[in-house]
Structure 1
Amino acid sequence: MSLKPWREIAVPHEDVLKGTFKQAEFAADLSRVHAGTATAEYQDPALFFQRTFITEGMRLLLDSVVKRLSGRGGDPVIQLQTAFGGGKTHTMLAVYHLVSRDGGKTMVSDLQGVPAILDAAGITELPHAKVVVLDGITSSPNQPVVREGQTIRTLWGDLAWQLGKADGYALVADADSSGTSPGKAVLETLIGRYSPCVILVDELVGYVRQFAEGVTLTGGTLDSNLSFVQALTEALKAVPTAVLLASLPESDREAGSQRGVQALSALSHYFGRIQALWKPVATEEAFEIVRRRLFTDINDKAAAESVCRAFADYYTANGDSFPRDTQESHYFDRLMQAYPIHPEVFDRLYEDWSSLANFQRTRGVLKLMAKVIHRLWKDNDKDPLIMPGSFPLADADTRNEVIYYLPQGWDPVVEKDIDGERAETTEIESFDTRLGSVQACRRTARTIFLGSAPSTPNQMVRGIGVERITLGAAHPGQQVGLYKDALRRLVDRLHYLNSGNDRFWFDTRPNLRREMEDRKRRFQDKEDIFPFIREHVKKAFQGNGVFNATHVFTGSSDVPDDWQLRLVVLPPDAALSKSGPSFALEQAGKILKNRGDQPRFKQNRLIFLVADGDTVNRLKDQVRSTLAWQSIVSDIKEMKLNLDQFQARQAGKSLTDAEDALRRMIRETYKWLVAPMQEAQPGKGMSDVKWEQFQINAGTPNLTQEIERVLKENELLITAWAPIHLAKVLKDWFWKDDVKEFSALKVWQQTCQQLYLPRLKDDAVFQKTMMDGAKGHDFFGFAQGKEDGGYLGFACSPSSELLLSNALLLIEPTAAAAAYQHQVEAQRAAEEAERIAIAKKNSNSQGVEEEDSLDENSTGKEKTTDEKTGKDKKEVAESVKKHFYCNIDLDPILAKKQFSDLVDEVVSQFTSRHGVKVEIAIEIRADSSIGFDGGVQRSVKENCNVLNFKNAEFES
């Protein structure tokens, strides 16, 4: 959304543009105007009313004055009692110029806004009236003044001289000389003789408080001056065309000393008997007062209305992010009334800054805003409105004007945290263009400063809420969330920004963040940071998942070289970077190549998780922050750090936030999965080791599952393998011209070793693939060995489970088919031989029966035949071996290894065959010439019982 900048719609006055205004020009000085020495804007009646907005209170007051001077009623005494800088003197000047009109040189019609007041009062011509100015700051109670040769000592003497010169003074000459009040009757005569008249008394408390109790000065005594005030107010009631305006401070603090407080109390009592109170300036009226003083007329009211409408609509559309009062229709009117300054600026200055002892409501706002506008104009500011977030606190003049009203210590706060080239806000924006493009951090910090820097002891709640911050910083067309994000950054980084109960404020005392930043410097990478990251990386894994083991920051010698699948997490200094040097591949290559000093063979069992090199520094900084907060919280618990309850709670919350941020940062940093591979073609050699890199999603809740997903989707790990793929691998790499079979166990082992072969999850995947391939004859056949050119235990589709062993052979399909055909033919031949043998046996049996019927005295030839037949049967029976046994002596020292070899090389030959029953018995005999002590006997017996020995006894 493109909105017209304020500088193209509202142009400041020339003195504001040039920066030629002076502090005194903002201070209305009644005495200087009366003496004719004030600046033009205060001295000239027409120019004064041109730059003066007639508020409702001023209109009522001027109406009362003109009626009083015309003898048509009105109040005889009006007390102007407001806070310091509330416009009392300015209102008196309005009365002064209305009555005097530069000695009658200025027409009433030239006074902007005055004709309407006269018309409303029904007065066609305002009578000429005398004006008396009594300034308590200019007058001295112990320093007489000489006017045209006449020495004047008291206020009543000055009053008489200004009304009637020497003739008037003669009425009070004795009272002036003696310092005693002239009395009501004399004052009534004096005022009546020279009416219509206006008596303006400014800073009366400042004069009266100089009189000590019981002390007589040139100007009289405390009692005589109080008596004069009482008599004066009473006398004015009797003169229908005379009016008195007196200004009094609103509070005891503005009255000054204890005597000032007493004087204020007494004067308020006397004025209170007759006075008519003046209505102070409302905030909305202050809008126009400031605008008239600082800006010329709005030259494009349609454009101004368009800007204000855009802001009002923006607040309505994002109602949850802005204060409730911005959702009401009248807020558009407030925007229009305050334009080109945002109403929030006035609210903060009039509600918060006016609570400061030395900040004057109108004058202070004018001075400050004049400097702000001058700097913004000079910097070619393009904002649609002048907002709290617009304040150019980096400018020395503006900053000095602001902190002038604050206690000592604010200058480093502004310079370090809020605005300027060295401010943290500027640094944050320089690294984040999203925030820097709209100065989100600086605008947010300026808004918080303007709304929280003024603080008073009776302040119930300190700071401003998020909705007020966004109100002071955000423009239509911008994302509100951008400023909320900026606020979160500031809370994490700034030294003087405090927060609590969703409110934020700056303070001159460094917050706990400064303590935290100081402690961060204690921690070193190798000794503190890396071990801390290691523990938190371990916690990020929810089990090993598809891996048999996970090794976090483990040296190459401690990563086993075996058949298990392992995930190796490299330390932060071995990171993968797209924009700088990458040490991850170098470190991973070392672990892949060697296990300590020995070469690594099972290279295809390692996958690496590595850090992102562009994020590592942020992770290390977050670790330092977390460690620092941990140490602070620990010191608080151990009473080593003296903090109040709020700061203690804040430290605990900061630690929690830091730990949460650390968990997120670890996921954001460790986001690269790296796997080694080689490209190879049969007969053409292979490439050098290459590294496949895949990014994992840091936003998923389960790191283990996310790694598994990336592995499967990118085929870095195979958890289910089709037989056709195994057959292709066998054909490419294992079945050669003269080799048509290969050990299944060795094929599996080669997949664990060679980076150009598929990476299987485990041997169960390989075994499952073989079993699936055994369901048909298209992929491979099986045998339990090969002897004399023939396969032992050959089968195309084994009926029993295939056990992965060295003896199990995977046979090329053509060779398997030939073996199968040979097996079929051999079976047929065996069946035919068996059939012939049975037939022959049957034939022989019939011959024997016939011979038995003959004479027992048969020839020796027949006996020989029987003996031969018996011998042949015995040989056949002895040719079938059905039992096996063996024994071996084992070395007691090497028994474990020898028994393992025995199982692999002998026992597995039987257990791998169906229907073979294997029994293994172990006999242990130990002899000692001196005997076994009781401890050995107990240990051996207990262990034998646990291991289920059939018998185990010690003998003498």
Structure 2
Amino acid sequence: MSLKPWREIARPHKDVLEGSFKQSEFAADITQVASGTAPAEYQDAEKFFSRTYITEGMRLLLISVAQRLAGQGGDPVIQLQTAFGGGKTHTMLAVYHLASREVSTDKLMGVPPVLDEAGIHDLPRAKIAVIDGIKLSPSQPRKYGNTSVNTLWGELAYQLLGEQGYEMVAGSDADGTSPGKEVLTALIRQAAPCVILIDELVAFIRQLELGKQYKAGTFDSNISFIQGLTEAMKAVPNAILLASLPESELEVGGTMGQRALNSLEKYFARVESVWKPVGTEEAFEIVRRRLFENPGERAQVEGISRQFSDFYRQHADKFPVETQSNEYFERLCRSYPIHPEIFDRLYEDWSTLEKFQRTRGVLQYMAIVIHRLWNSDNKDALIMPGSLPLEDSNVRNKSIHYLPQGWEPVIEREVDGPRSAPYDIDGHHTLFGGVQAARRTARTIFLGSAPSTREQMIRGVQAERILLGTVQPGQAIGVFEDVLKRLRDRLHYLYAEQDRYWLDTKPNLRREMESRKQNINERDELLPLLKERVNRIFGRNHQFGGIHVFTPSVDVPDDYGSGPRLVVLPTNAAYSRAETNQAFGEAEKILRNRGDQPRQKQNRLIFLAPDFDVVSRLKEQGRIYLAWRSIVTDIESGTLNQDLTHLNQAKRHRDGSEQSLTQLIRETYKWLIAPVEEFIKGKPTLNWEVVSVSPTAPNLVQAIEDKLREEEWLIYEWSPIHLRNVLKQWYLKDGVTEVSALKVWQDTCHYLYLPRLVNDNVFRNAIAQGVESEDYFGFASDKEGDRYLGFSFGRGSIASLDESSLLIDREAAAAYAERIRQAMQPTPQPTQPGETGGTPTPGTTSETGTTPPPTPGETGQPSAGSTAAVKKQFYGTIALDPVKAKMDFATLMDEVVQQFTAKLGVDVTISVEIEAKSRDGFDEALQRTVKENCNVLRFSNAEFEEE
């Protein structure tokens, strides 16, 4: 079923549609009805009941009235005491029309079932007296022909029995004294069946100052009259009294009003039956009956309500828990076409305002709203809090009428209207504007929070209720969640605490923040912050030789390092897909030069550039964070005089803006740039390769390293075949058969057209793997003449990588290995009779010449019958460069000591001998430090000596 607009299903009453209703007509006036001058909807009993929903309280009261008039029980006195606008006058009118019997009861909608329940088949016509405390004056008599009536009891007697009744109390009326219980009982009995309706009684009696005599009597005489009247009603079985007493202080009216109320309550309490006020659920039907001629066909109403109910259940975590029950579906049906949330907010929140009359106030307010929505061709499926047209002057004026001063500019700037911020947000963002997300959200916050006061412990409306008042089935909830954050960050009168939001007439600290934000210096404050925060996201666990954030070229080292260096470009060197690119220009400056000197190790640099489209947002967010941080600091130090609420607000904004700043840094710094060179017409030409890094990756450094590995911009593992190809392409050609291994490694750090290796271990590993086979190249630790020292080809391992290390062309290495094998083979000797054969030892001479000694690094087993002694002990001494001793000693352990410790049954002893000399001698502090450290390290001997 399609989600039809409410205006295509329900139809308001004519006066609502035309806007021809008068607000005063919503205030039922029982005196006008009694005198025959009320509007038709109140004067005509049939019309009155057609627009009246008989609530539970009214039903019970009408049953009691019918039973009392029929002499079958019922309550003699009923006190109607409810909050302002609670429907008590409307209830009196219902009793008036029921008792007057000007229209037969079968024509009064809803009345026959009430009489059936009361067991009344023939309801007698009753005499009715209506006493309105506002219409009567204590000092001015009322004229009825030749009769002048002064008091309440005179008015009562004349209305019930005319001049005959007045004669019964004429003396008391003349001198202002109460007629007494017996006279009143006789009067009531003679008039019965009768109904006495007293409205606004306190408003009359509070005018009687203590100790003063009025034509209407004294304060005490009027209280005595009420006491006597209530007792008289008990004595007459078919007479009933309904009196309304105020509940709110606004209606009581000062000290005398309170005194009058206290006295009246004491006497009414003896015989009263307190009427049950209108409930919120019943108000649905009251308002719907009064405002809508036809609320819609039942099937259509249920169809729309079901779609809303199902939508709330599908997104249970986004809406209040009560929306998940089937009872809420029934509420939707009963209140259609008005959303229940409007009634909840008006009856629960707005009714706490002194000026706001409950049912009457809701009727007045919603009549204006519906009139405006109908004329503006509103397409909402329900009239929701987000639908309220607060841009309309009538609706806005009615809204602020109930509120303290200062709300009009808040609505105009922060809630609704062409000059408001929500209007601007909707106008500039299609995603929001398509559903009026900003305006609907602001309206809902206003309706749910405007009645709250600063004294309340918990203020505002929860986010789930904001969504309930704005989102319709089929709309994306996320859009409204996003716009709520946008409003929180922009509005000056909107407050937020946890998930509650409220508007106030006192501006929040956003204006202060905006002012401070404009004064933040980019060079001295913003860029240092961004540098520190960008540094923070990298951490320390990475394989780079260094990460240099916003670092000038002179401060980016030009070395081989333990890994490549990541240079993070500043915000003014952003990457853009456009042809002109700031990032490439800044990166080339750092790549080519280190300060004023040419850079040598260019292939050790990788660049991370900011995104041009996000940089401005990043700077803006940085300024916002700095502004909030300074506000918090100033409030805490007392420099800025604000209360605890504003301090908490500032801290929330500071923390939220800091989180947003961190996220924006990740979104901004996402372009990884690698310099490469290609040979065009024999000349190297610089190019840039660019790839993005996901801003959502949990670890930025890891994501960068993964991307570098994936794109092969950094080589973490290098196959020997690739090293062989590099050698063949650039080094071992044109008759060259060997090249310095160290030079090849260093060249990979220098030249952008060579592979970029993570570190020299990758290079070493490639060599080590390559020499295990005869398919790639050979290796030698040095060369003397035409002999290779430490030669490895097809076996063995490599020694340390230094200036003398050589990589040898595969064919040359294979030829050299063949020569070695041939030289190692023994030459056969002729054997004389009686002589024994043997293998010449290295250095001996045979007829064919001298056998060359084995090359260092070669191994061999002595031939059978050899007399060579078995070597059982090794001793070696080496001098270490004190500057590189730590690294050299590690190499010594790997290459020599480990050869022994890896064998079973080999005992290894290592001694370290340190000798230091100084021409000027060692001071006492140095001697003490060295001796203490030597003791800790358990040196067997550590002494300073004179030369």
Residues 431/589 of structure 1: CA separation in 2 closer, same or farther (3 Å cut):
farther
544-553 vs 186-195, which moves further:
186-195
Unmatched 5+ residue regions in structure 2? 830-839, 851-880, 885-894, 897-912
Residue 728 (1) aligns with residue 725 (2): yes
**Alpha-carbon displacement from aligned partner over 1:447-488 (angstroms, at most 9, x marks no partner):** 343333323688564334444444434444556566555555
Residues 299/122 of structure 1: CA separation in 2 closer, same or farther (3 Å cut):
same
Matches within 5 A, 1:385-404: 385-404=382-401
Rounded to whole Å, the distance in 1 between the matches of 2:578 and 2:435 is: 27
**Alpha-carbon displacement from aligned partner over 1:688-707 (angstroms, at most 9, x marks no partner):** 43222222233333222221
Rounded to whole Å, the distance in 2 between the matches of 1:64 and 1:837 is: 143
Rounded to whole Å, the distance in 1 between the matches of 2:98 and 2:772 is: 114
Rounded to whole Å, the distance in 1 between the matches of 2:914 and 2:112 is: 127
Rounded to whole Å, the distance in 2 between the matches of 1:614 and 1:411 is: 39
Deviation at 1:317, TM superposition (A): 4.4
**Letter aligned with residue 504 of structure 2:** D
Aligned partner of 1:773 among 770, 773, 776: 770
Deviation at 1:580, TM superposition (A): 10
Residues 124/780 of structure 1: CA separation in 2 closer, same or farther (3 Å cut):
same
5-14 vs 639-648, which moves further:
639-648
Rounded to whole Å, the distance in 2 between the matches of 1:443 and 1:16 is: 23
Rounded to whole Å, the distance in 2 between the matches of 1:327 and 1:793 is: 82
**Letter aligned with residue 624 of structure 1:** R
**Alpha-carbon displacement from aligned partner over 1:550-606 (angstroms, at most 9, x marks no partner):** 111001222123333210011223222458974222222222232223333322211
**Which residue is equivalent to 1:79?**
79
Rounded to whole Å, the distance in 1 between the matches of 2:705 and 2:482 is: 33
Matches within 5 A, 1:757-796: 757-782=754-779, 796=793
**Which residue is equivalent to 1:622?**
621
**Letter aligned with residue 37 of structure 1:** T
Aligned partner of 1:110 among 107, 111, 124: 107
Are the counterparts in 2 of residues 154 and 220 from structure 1 also a CA contact under 8 Å? yes
**Which residue is equivalent to 2:662?**
663
**Letter aligned with residue 629 of structure 1:** W
Are the counterparts in 1 of residues 574 and 609 from structure 2 also a CA contact under 8 Å? yes
**Alpha-carbon displacement from aligned partner over 1:887-912 (angstroms, at most 9, x marks no partner):** xxxxxxxxx9xx99xxxxxxxxxx99
**Which residue is equivalent to 2:47?**
47
**Which residue is equivalent to 2:336?**
339
Residues 685/150 of structure 1: CA separation in 2 closer, same or farther (3 Å cut):
farther
**Letter aligned with residue 598 of structure 2:** P
Residues 227/663 of structure 1: CA separation in 2 closer, same or farther (3 Å cut):
same
Rounded to whole Å, the distance in 2 between the matches of 1:692 and 1:840 is: 63
Matches within 5 A, 1:171-182: 171-182=168-179
Are the counterparts in 2 of residues 131 and 197 from structure 1 also a CA contact under 8 Å? yes
Matches within 5 A, 1:732-771: 732-771=729-768
Unmatched 5+ residue regions in structure 1? 843-895, 901-910, 913-919, 927-931
Aligned partner of 1:206 among 203, 206, 212: 203
User: Which has the larger Rg?
Assistant: 1
**Alpha-carbon displacement from aligned partner over 1:91-129 (angstroms, at most 9, x marks no partner):** 11222233446xx4x443332222333344444454443
Aligned partner of residue 363 in structure 2, secondary structure: helix
Aligned partner of residue 608 in structure 1, secondary structure: strand
Rounded to whole Å, the distance in 1 between the matches of 2:200 and 2:578 is: 71
Aligned partner of residue 680 in structure 1, secondary structure: strand
Deviation at 1:287, TM superposition (A): 1.0
Rounded to whole Å, the distance in 2 between the matches of 1:740 and 1:475 is: 80
**Which residue is equivalent to 1:846?**
none
Rounded to whole Å, the distance in 1 between the matches of 2:502 and 2:720 is: 69
Residues 924/835 of structure 1: CA separation in 2 closer, same or farther (3 Å cut):
closer
Aligned partner of residue 678 in structure 2, secondary structure: coil
Are the counterparts in 2 of residues 348 and 450 from structure 1 also a CA contact under 8 Å? yes
Matches within 5 A, 1:187-586: 187-426=184-423, 437-455=434-452, 461-477=458-474, 483-484=480-481, 486-500=483-497, 503-543=500-540, 545-564=542-561, 565-578=564-577, 582-586=581-585
Aligned partner of residue 243 in structure 1, secondary structure: strand
330-339 vs 233-242, which moves further:
233-242
Rounded to whole Å, the distance in 1 between the matches of 2:215 and 2:505 is: 48
Deviation at 1:195, TM superposition (A): 4.2
Residues 229/755 of structure 1: CA separation in 2 closer, same or farther (3 Å cut):
same
Deviation at 1:822, TM superposition (A): 6.8
**Which residue is equivalent to 2:5?**
5
Aligned partner of residue 667 in structure 2, secondary structure: helix
Deviation at 1:230, TM superposition (A): 2.7
Residues 289/800 of structure 1: CA separation in 2 closer, same or farther (3 Å cut):
closer
Are the counterparts in 2 of residues 785 and 809 from structure 1 also a CA contact under 8 Å? yes
**Which residue is equivalent to 2:36?**
36
Aligned partner of residue 671 in structure 1, secondary structure: strand
Deviation at 1:263, TM superposition (A): 1.0
**Which residue is equivalent to 2:709?**
712
**Which residue is equivalent to 1:672?**
671
Aligned partner of residue 679 in structure 2, secondary structure: coil
Rounded to whole Å, the distance in 1 between the matches of 2:62 and 2:281 is: 20
Deviation at 1:686, TM superposition (A): 5.3
Rounded to whole Å, the distance in 2 between the matches of 1:688 and 1:439 is: 54
Aligned partner of 1:693 among 690, 695, 702: 690
Aligned partner of residue 615 in structure 1, secondary structure: helix
Residues 828/149 of structure 1: CA separation in 2 closer, same or farther (3 Å cut):
same
**Alpha-carbon displacement from aligned partner over 1:764-804 (angstroms, at most 9, x marks no partner):** 32232222222233323446788999989876458452544
**Alpha-carbon displacement from aligned partner over 1:12-38 (angstroms, at most 9, x marks no partner):** 222223333332121112223333333
Alpha-carbon RMSD across the aligned residues, in angstroms, is 4.2
Are the counterparts in 2 of residues 944 and 952 from structure 1 also a CA contact under 8 Å? no
Are the counterparts in 1 of residues 679 and 685 from structure 2 also a CA contact under 8 Å? no
Residue 95 (1) aligns with residue 92 (2): no
**Which residue is equivalent to 2:887?**
none
Deviation at 1:643, TM superposition (A): 4.8
Deviation at 1:83, TM superposition (A): 0.9
Residues 528/422 of structure 1: CA separation in 2 closer, same or farther (3 Å cut):
farther
Residues 636/606 of structure 1: CA separation in 2 closer, same or farther (3 Å cut):
same
Deviation at 1:404, TM superposition (A): 1.8
Deviation at 1:359, TM superposition (A): 0.9
Rounded to whole Å, the distance in 2 between the matches of 1:544 and 1:428 is: 43
**Letter aligned with residue 207 of structure 1:** F
Aligned partner of 1:157 among 149, 154, 159: 154
**Which residue is equivalent to 1:26?**
26
Rounded to whole Å, the distance in 1 between the matches of 2:41 and 2:311 is: 39
**Letter aligned with residue 46 of structure 1:** E
Deviation at 1:543, TM superposition (A): 1.8
Residues 377/686 of structure 1: CA separation in 2 closer, same or farther (3 Å cut):
farther
Are the counterparts in 2 of residues 394 and 420 from structure 1 also a CA contact under 8 Å? yes
Residues 749/242 of structure 1: CA separation in 2 closer, same or farther (3 Å cut):
same
Are the counterparts in 2 of residues 355 and 456 from structure 1 also a CA contact under 8 Å? no
Aligned partner of residue 246 in structure 1, secondary structure: strand
Residues 944/331 of structure 1: CA separation in 2 closer, same or farther (3 Å cut):
closer
**Which residue is equivalent to 2:908?**
none
**Letter aligned with residue 621 of structure 1:** E
TM-score (norm: length of structure 1): 0.81
Residues 613/501 of structure 1: CA separation in 2 closer, same or farther (3 Å cut):
closer
804-813 vs 71-80, which moves further:
804-813
Deviation at 1:206, TM superposition (A): 0.8
Residues 40/922 of structure 1: CA separation in 2 closer, same or farther (3 Å cut):
same
Aligned residues, how many? Answer: 876
Residues 829/31 of structure 1: CA separation in 2 closer, same or farther (3 Å cut):
same
**Which residue is equivalent to 2:15?**
15
Are the counterparts in 1 of residues 288 and 295 from structure 2 also a CA contact under 8 Å? no
Deviation at 1:139, TM superposition (A): 1.7
**Letter aligned with residue 63 of structure 1:** I
